[in-house]
Structure 1
Amino acid sequence: MESSSDPQQQHKNPNWLELPRDLITTILLKLGAIEILTSAQNVCSLWREICMDPLMWRAIDMHNLGDLLDIPYGLEIMCRHAIDRSCGQLVDINIEYFGTDELLKYITDSTSQLRRLQLRMCNNISDEGLIVAVRKLPLLEELEISYCSFSTDPLGTVGHSCPLLKSLRLNNKGSLRAHLECNEEALAIAESMHGLRHLQLFGNKLTNDGLLAILDGCPELESLDLRQCFYVSLGGNLGRRCVEQIKDLKLPDDSTIGYEFDASIEDNGSFDEDYPSGFSDIDLWSNDYDYDFSGGSDLTDYEDPYWDY
């Protein structure tokens, strides 16, 4: 008997094109938008048909490594095309590095159902662009703003415009430089986000006063990440209150293992010696990119439309 008819051999070498549709869909949903649009949908007509289904695009993950100069296609054009495919059903989107005011407006003009918005290293989105966007997102429950260059102004708008907000990730690079304390973000959170349950403030410059305001203003808070918040000192009554009020508490000097961004610390050697000098060798990301991939046209069908933009 030939090996090709051997049941064991066939089991070891399945025909991926003959998998059940539901299983193919499950596999494709685990891919990011970039992988689907540049490769997966071109495998065969069935895969392409599945990739055109709006339900495939309720969550759009534009995760990328930030090596924008090495990417030969327009990420903003690709993102707009993915949004179009969602047909207004988009509820979750992650943008890294290439976000712009225009793209954020395109997202919020395309759906009012967004529950989760992740903005990472998006230095081409302005305060005004974010403010205009969140005013159109009354159902937003989760917001991440990591390593962006926004001021405090949008946070108040987020709190007042998104009453269902339960999770906020406001991450930055930890600093050991002296006299950089700032409680503006903490106060904006405390004054407008009373329903928060999960708050990550990695590398924030708040002090004990800002932390106390958050504890008072966010009574439903269950988890709080204060890693590399070096201007907070959790001794005495404040430390005891944090332990009693917060179920999942990460302290300023806790390990950064598992943190998905660059955990290196800005240090000019002028901070008090009482503070730790560093906790992690993790260096998965860089915050040195500032490229603008704005513009582009809407596409309805295509053959490798993202190349050479």
Structure 2
Amino acid sequence: MTKGIVCTMPRKTERGILGYKKDPKNQVLFSFNPRDGDECPTSDSEDSDYLPSDEERPSSSNSKNTTRKQASRSNHGNKTGKRKSHDQSDTRAKKVARLSQNEASLVLTSDFQGRLPPEVWLKIFKMVVYSDGALPFLCRAAKVCCMWRELAENPLLWDTVDLSYGWIKSQDQTLIYLANQRLSQCQTLSLSMWKNLTNQAVKVLSEKCPLLKSINLSYCKKLTSEGITALVNNCCDIEDIDLSFTSNDAVSVSCLKNLVQKLGGNLRHLTIGGNTLKGFPTFLTTLMNSCPSLETLDVSNAVFSADFVSLNIEAFQAHCSKLRVLRLTNSKFRASYVSQRLKAESPGFPQLEQVSLAVSTSGLNSSLGFDDDFLSRLLKSSVELRLLDLRGCTNLSTTSLQHLPVTHLVQLHLSQSSVTKYADLDMVFKKWRHSLTHVDLSWNSFPENLDKGVAALAEGDQPSPLEHLNIAGTSVGVTPVKLVLELCPKLTFINLTSCRSLPRGVKREFSGKKKIDKLKKEFEEVSDSELDSLSD
């Protein structure tokens, strides 16, 4: 169905789009999506069943006939009353037809409500909830009328609820009320940033929402292992759970081991980053043995009881071969030693799509764990990899990247990475030039290598798919930047902040096609030698 349809009612007793009789006296403006719909026509003359009302001024050719009709009406008392009521209905219908779609969507007369049964309204509500979310729409719709209130209370509309944006008060009483009245059919729930949430409310939630499959409890600082245990004991179908930046007790070894053992093969997404994780190797062993369907593991920004956690990559690959996303950002991991035979027999992670090994450069020796051996063993068979984040890794070389089996890498982040110090950096970009859309080379030295690498992104037989390039804080020259602007037609963002080899007027971010085109013209108007003379 097209958006913003004006459903005019012909005189025949045909049935309309909703199965109800069409009435030419009560035309209905119907739109599924008033925000995106086209504006209503300013004149009804384009409608096939257009009937002009007495309010509209007739043409000069018909002025005499109109005068006679008006005189005839004045001589008939009873007939005049009927015609006036008919004209008023036509006038009302045309006023509704002239309303903008936002205004027309608010016209909820008793006549209109009677034409649409609750079943149809429920389908419309489902479409709105699917596109815009349950909140705040359902809370606002409940205030319109009694019928809408009953519809808004239907648990089928509350299967996916995000309470992390502050639509309602983040307190236990609110969650308990919703659990009792609305969330019996809820499958996806986000309670992120509910800092005052306690175990009592989580217990009630777990008892009233047995169908829960995904829950976000990040930054719920008051939760303890008692609440987490009650949740996993009552909701055994949970597939996705986020416990990042919670209390130490909520992510204790005993609590996490009980969680993965209870959920077992159902668990697919686990996020426990931003916590102090004591005894993590013991939990990791239990995780590998209990969750063969694991697809996402996020242990970013974690603090361990030991200096480094020894990760048995080959055992991890053998037990969790379905892994798609692995985030170890700013966490100290080191590959454990295994024999060459085990390395050769390992299946790898063939379905891995995203890997983040980024390291904060503020700490000393913080990147000792991520070296060429770690990277090559981890991505041994990851041909489907799309995102690789190596920011801050200072023990990696271009050799390991060139030997990766990845064929269609889309995003590569090498900010403050040791990879850029090698002269064959351009070979890395030539390998993935056909697929790279996002590249981050910011705050790196070695200008000659960077110039060759950036030029390799642009030059090739086919147009480059590059969309986002960040070279802030580097000494990339004018010529490579000009090549990128000329040979990358899909470029929509480039960051030239603090680029020492570029003129002062362009040392900033450029976002959007218009700004990129303007920057391209500025570079075209000035020759390379003139631009070099303008640089710092």
TM-score w.r.t. length of structure 1: 0.66
Q: Which residue of 1 aligns with 2:77?
A: none
The correspondence of residues 267-282 of structure 1 with structure 2, limited to 5 A, is: 269-272=363-366, 276-277=391-392
Q: 1:250 aligns with which of 330, 354, 357?
A: 354
Is residue 85 of structure 1 aligned with residue 181 of structure 2?
A: yes
**Range moving further from structure 2, 43-52 or 115-124:** 43-52
Q: 2:126 aligns with which of 14, 22, 25?
A: 25
Cα separation, 2, equivalents of 1:242 and 1:103 = 45
Cα separation, 2, equivalents of 1:16 and 1:115 = 35
Q: Which residue of 2 aligns with 1:35?
A: 136
The one-letter code sitting in structure 2 at the alignment partner of 1:200 is D
Is residue 96 of structure 1 aligned with residue 192 of structure 2?
A: yes
Deviation at 1:63, TM superposition (A): 1.7
**1:49–1:3 CA distance, 2 compared to 1 (3 A):** closer
Deviation at 1:116, TM superposition (A): 1.9
User: Residues 189-223 of structure 1: CA distance to partner in whole angstroms, max 9, x if unpaired?
Assistant: 1132233233333334674525444323324x231
Deviation at 1:233, TM superposition (A): 5.7
Contact 1:141 1:166 in 2 (8 A): yes
Q: Which residue of 1 aligns with 2:235?
A: 137
The one-letter code sitting in structure 2 at the alignment partner of 1:114 is L
The one-letter code sitting in structure 1 at the alignment partner of 2:193 is Y
Cα separation, 2, equivalents of 1:241 and 1:191 = 19
Q: Which residue of 1 aligns with 2:105?
A: 16
Deviation at 1:235, TM superposition (A): 11
Cα separation, 1, equivalents of 2:180 and 2:265 = 26
Q: Which residue of 1 aligns with 2:318?
A: 216
The one-letter code sitting in structure 1 at the alignment partner of 2:354 is K
Deviation at 1:182, TM superposition (A): 4.8
Q: Which residue of 2 aligns with 1:151?
A: 252
Cα separation, 2, equivalents of 1:123 and 1:161 = 23
Cα separation, 1, equivalents of 2:283 and 2:140 = 42
Cα separation, 2, equivalents of 1:241 and 1:109 = 45
Cα separation, 1, equivalents of 2:146 and 2:285 = 54
**1:130–1:37 CA distance, 2 compared to 1 (3 A):** same
**Range moving further from structure 2, 244-253 or 110-119:** 244-253
The one-letter code sitting in structure 2 at the alignment partner of 1:194 is P
User: Residues 226-250 of structure 1: CA distance to partner in whole angstroms, max 9, x if unpaired?
Assistant: 2415434679989999994241342
Q: Which residue of 2 aligns with 1:304?
A: none
The correspondence of residues 66-215 of structure 1 with structure 2, limited to 5 A, is: 73-86=169-182, 88-98=184-194, 99-149=197-247, 150-173=251-274, 182-204=280-302, 207-215=309-317
Cα separation, 2, equivalents of 1:211 and 1:135 = 30
Cα separation, 2, equivalents of 1:212 and 1:56 = 44
Cα separation, 1, equivalents of 2:343 and 2:279 = 19
Cα separation, 2, equivalents of 1:136 and 1:36 = 30
The one-letter code sitting in structure 1 at the alignment partner of 2:320 is C
The one-letter code sitting in structure 2 at the alignment partner of 1:84 is N
Q: Which runs of 5+ in 1 are unaligned?
A: 66-70, 255-264, 282-309
Cα separation, 2, equivalents of 1:59 and 1:49 = 18
**Range moving further from structure 2, 31-40 or 229-238:** 229-238
Fraction of identical pairs, as percent: 14
The one-letter code sitting in structure 2 at the alignment partner of 1:15 is A
Contact 2:296 2:325 in 1 (8 A): yes
Cα separation, 2, equivalents of 1:222 and 1:24 = 36
Across the aligned residues of Structure 1 and Structure 2, the Cα RMSD in angstroms comes to 4.2
Larger Rg: 2
Cα separation, 2, equivalents of 1:25 and 1:224 = 31
Cα separation, 2, equivalents of 1:61 and 1:72 = 11
Cα separation, 1, equivalents of 2:287 and 2:361 = 27
Q: Which has the higher contact order (CA 8 A, sep 6+)?
A: 1
Q: Give the structure with the higher percent helix.
A: 2
Deviation at 1:52, TM superposition (A): 1.0
User: Residues 75-126 of structure 1: CA distance to partner in whole angstroms, max 9, x if unpaired?
Assistant: 3322222212236333332212223211110011213222222211111110
Cα separation, 1, equivalents of 2:291 and 2:367 = 35
Q: Which residue of 2 aligns with 1:58?
A: 159
Deviation at 1:34, TM superposition (A): 5.3
Q: Which residue of 2 aligns with 1:289?
A: none
Contact 1:60 1:93 in 2 (8 A): yes
Q: Aligned residue pairs: how many?
A: 261
User: Residues 268-301 of structure 1: CA distance to partner in whole angstroms, max 9, x if unpaired?
Assistant: 53234667449699xxxxxxxxxxxxxxxxxxxx
Q: Which runs of 5+ in 2 are unaligned?
A: 1-55, 57-90, 109-115, 371-390, 394-414, 416-439, 443-536
Cα separation, 1, equivalents of 2:361 and 2:187 = 39
Secondary structure, aligned partner of 2:293:
coil
TM-score w.r.t. length of structure 2: 0.41
Cα separation, 1, equivalents of 2:186 and 2:283 = 29
Secondary structure, aligned partner of 2:363:
coil
Secondary structure, aligned partner of 1:120:
coil
